[in-house]
Structure 1
Amino acid sequence: MKSLSIKAVALSALLSVSATAAVSAQAQELKIGYVNSERVLREANVAKAVGLKLESEFGKREKDLKDAELKLRGAAEKLEKDAPTLSEAERNRRQRDLVESDRELQRKRREWQEDLTQRKQEEMSVIVDRANRAIKQIFDTEKYDLIVQDAIFSSPRVDITKKVIDSLNAQK
């Protein structure tokens, strides 16, 4: 009988300790944060500055392309209007010139788009690196257990996007 009661007491004590540990673990909450990357890239001053920088860098070429397109349309309309009075050879020559001009314009437009895309990616890479450093700093400073980017659903109480934007805006 004594050995049974000692085993029962030992088992009871063991269960009590493990129950206390479980309650203690539940009482210790995880600190979780969420960052909306799209919002950071849209609202941070550094991202806005990149947009202006790219606009100044590529705006002239875009305007030149639009002007060339308008000129090409005007030439096409003029050809259509003058076609009945032109000789067959002259009409064919102008059509070839228009086709060649259109090809050249499309080539320039593709090059412009490729250059713009490449520069955007380069600049966005720099912004993402800076944002990740800001997130890491917030993680370490405020002792988060987990920070998630781009979750499908999140509660406003775990959203730290504004902190990240403010941190980026404070950097120089």
Structure 2
Amino acid sequence: MTTKTTTLARHLLRASLLSVSIALAAPAFAQGARIGFVNSDRMLREAEPAKAAQAKLEQEFSRREKELNDAGNALRAASEKFERDAPTLSESQRSQRQRQLLEQDREFQRKSREFQEDLNARRNEELQAVLDRANRVVKQVAEAEKYDVILQEAVYLNPQLDITDKVIKALNASK
């Protein structure tokens, strides 16, 4: 299956699930059910726990990122120096420097991959912790204000149903 086909299938599945959900919930809506909506992306950008997690990640990975940037700059400088010096080098010197540059590049690529994998793993851990906490807060807000349904994705939303500000405020207040 191609990426476009997979994406289309995913959107069709979401749309059909949403339709079924609405159809099943229709009797409750007819009785005046309370519906709310939480913008998860906005919550992950604006809530203090999400900002704290991002700051923690930046602090944790800043040293490695700087080292990686320095290594990339050193590799670029060595490559430029080789390009300048190549015409005056003997064949054996040129070959030796090329091998050194290739080895340096391989090492840089390996470190770069490891950094990205480590960063992604830690980001996912921190994000999951924030999401778990946010879901508990959403549930608390829903129970306290007697909401029947809280949605996190919608094609269209009446702004009056958006409770994201309440959730962010409660999430910031909870420790």
The TM-score normalised by the length of structure 1 is 0.83
Which amino acid is 1:74 matched to?
A
The answer as to 2:69 corresponding to 1:66 is yes
Q: CA RMSD in A?
A: 1.4
Distance 1:56 1:33, change over 3 A: same
Match of 1:103 among 94, 101, 106: 106
The answer as to 2:129 corresponding to 1:126 is yes
Distance 1:68 1:27, change over 3 A: closer
For 1:90 and 1:56, locate their aligned partners in 2 and report how far apart those are by CA, in whole Å. 42
The answer as to 2:155 corresponding to 1:159 is no
- The answer for the alignment partner of 1:51 in structure 2 is 54
Gaps of 5+ in 1: 1-24
Q: Percent identity among equivalent residues?
A: 58
Distance 1:74 1:26, change over 3 A: closer
Note the alpha carbon deviations across 1:18-52, whole angstroms, 9 max, x for none: xxxxxxx9884111000000011110001011111
The answer as to 2:150 corresponding to 1:147 is yes
The answer as to 2:90 corresponding to 1:84 is no
Q: Which has the larger radius of gyration?
A: 1
For 1:69 and 1:169, locate their aligned partners in 2 and report how far apart those are by CA, in whole Å. 39
For 1:27 and 1:90, locate their aligned partners in 2 and report how far apart those are by CA, in whole Å. 82
Distance 1:91 1:64, change over 3 A: same
- The answer for the alignment partner of 1:34 in structure 2 is 37
For 1:136 and 1:170, locate their aligned partners in 2 and report how far apart those are by CA, in whole Å. 15
For 1:82 and 1:28, locate their aligned partners in 2 and report how far apart those are by CA, in whole Å. 81
Q: Per-residue deviation at 1:137?
A: 0.4
For 1:41 and 1:34, locate their aligned partners in 2 and report how far apart those are by CA, in whole Å. 15
Which amino acid is 1:109 matched to?
S
Query: 3-state SS of the aligned residue for 1:30?
Result: coil
For 1:100 and 1:143, locate their aligned partners in 2 and report how far apart those are by CA, in whole Å. 63
Query: 3-state SS of the aligned residue for 1:150?
Result: coil
The answer as to 2:172 corresponding to 1:169 is yes
With 76-85 and 99-108 compared, the bigger mean Cα shift is at: 76-85
Distance 1:87 1:134, change over 3 A: same
Query: 3-state SS of the aligned residue for 2:150?
Result: strand
